[in-house]
Amino acid sequence: MCGIVGLFLKNEALRPELGGLLTDMLITMTDRGPDSAGIAIYGDADAGLKMTIQSDTPAETFAGLQGALEAEIGQPVEIRVVDTHAILTLPEGSGPAVSAYMAERGIRVMGTGESMEIFKEVGLPKDVAARFGLRQMAGSHGIGHTRMATESAVTTLGAHPFSTGADQCLVHNGSLSNHNQMRRILTQKGFAPKTQNDTEVAACYISSRLAEGANLGEALEGTLTDLDGFFTFVVGTKNGFGVVRDPVACKPAVMAETDDYVAFGSEYRALANLPGIETARVWEPEPATVYFWER
């Protein structure tokens, strides 16, 4: 099954409330996906590069990491530990060196970008949200997912969102049937997925298309011809928010738009408590049709 929620703010005044609104939406989707939960949130772009890392042993792993990294790259680094995750603020251009440093030590990189932070763990959505303090987070847009696993194991890395490019994230409800073939093609192109998860292949596909020069809409359009299976995808970029459903469109989706926001939910329940929902335009996205918003 799986549950998806997404919120793209048009009204800047709502930014402090983004985390709270998304948290309530996410918890409403618990019975669609009680295995694990995750959220990608796009906050203020600080100077430098943000990298979200994760460790199953955060106390040991993150202790002394700041100093060790500064010694490694010879420049100042900031670290903010949030439960099993930590947000590093790094100097421009240091991403590849830091990623290599993490890989050598078995520390997982969840995502990088100027504004995106990703938090995901195994557990009930309300517990995951509380561990990371999602309710207090502010930002311009965010995407959340509650997972009921089908194609790969219930692990932190199997949870959504998947990020395979700077400030890019993707969540998925459904299952892909040509992900092994696509994984080989993407690996040859230099966009190798890290896990055996089918959704990560879709994320890598979008990243590869964006890297080749497609805009978000064109990349989403490509999923309709190149990916086989059931999917409703919701995708975030630094400035954008997109939705696409496969042509059969078995996986549910509801959208709402007001002057203040564009919202996505697997079910209307997820949207029912949003401000102004009574007068919002509420619709079901059409099959095989790309919707995207960019600011």
Partner 1 sequence: MQTIDMATTPLRDLNAALQAQAKQTNQTAWEIVNPKGAHAIAVGLDAPIEVTVKGSTGYYCAGMNKQATVKVTGSAGPGVAENMMSGTVIIEGDASQYAGATGRGGLLVIKGNASSRCGISMKGIDIVVHGSIGHMSAFMAQSGNLVVLGDAGDALGDSLYEARLFVRGAVKSLGADCVEKEMRPEHIAILQDLLTRAGADAKPEEFKRYGSARTLYNFHVDNASAY
249 binds partner 1 (CB under 8 A): yes
Q: Check binding of 275 to partner 1 (CB under 8 A).
A: no
Q: Which of 20, 272, 289, 293 binds partner 1 (CB under 8 A)?
A: 272
- Binding of residue 273 to partner 1 (CB under 8 A): yes
Q: Is 2 a catalytic residue?
A: yes
**Given candidates 15, 131, 238, 269, which one binds partner 1 under the rule CB under 8 A?**
269
Q: By CB under 8 A, is residue 92 in contact with partner 1?
A: no
Residues that bind partner 1 (rule: CB under 8 A) add up to a total of 17
Q: Which of 252, 257, 260, 293 binds partner 1 (CB under 8 A)?
A: 252
Interface stretch with partner 1, choices 17-25, 36-44, 182-190, 268-276 (CB under 8 A): 268-276
b/e string for 162-194 if b means 16 or more Cβ within 10 A? bbbbbbbbbbbbbebeebeebbeebeeeebebe
Contact window for partner 1 (CB under 8 A) among 91-99, 205-213, 215-223, 281-289: 281-289
Q: Does 114 bind partner 1 (CB under 8 A)?
A: no
Question: Would you count residue 148 as binding partner 1 (CB under 8 A)?
Answer: no
Q: Using the rule CB under 8 A, is 224 a contact of partner 1?
A: no
Return d(Cα 173, Cα 99) in angstroms, integer: 29
Residue 224 Cβ vs partner 1, minimum distance, rounded to whole Å: 14
Residues forming the site for partner 1 (CB under 8 A): 247, 249-250, 252, 254, 267-273, 282-284, 286-287
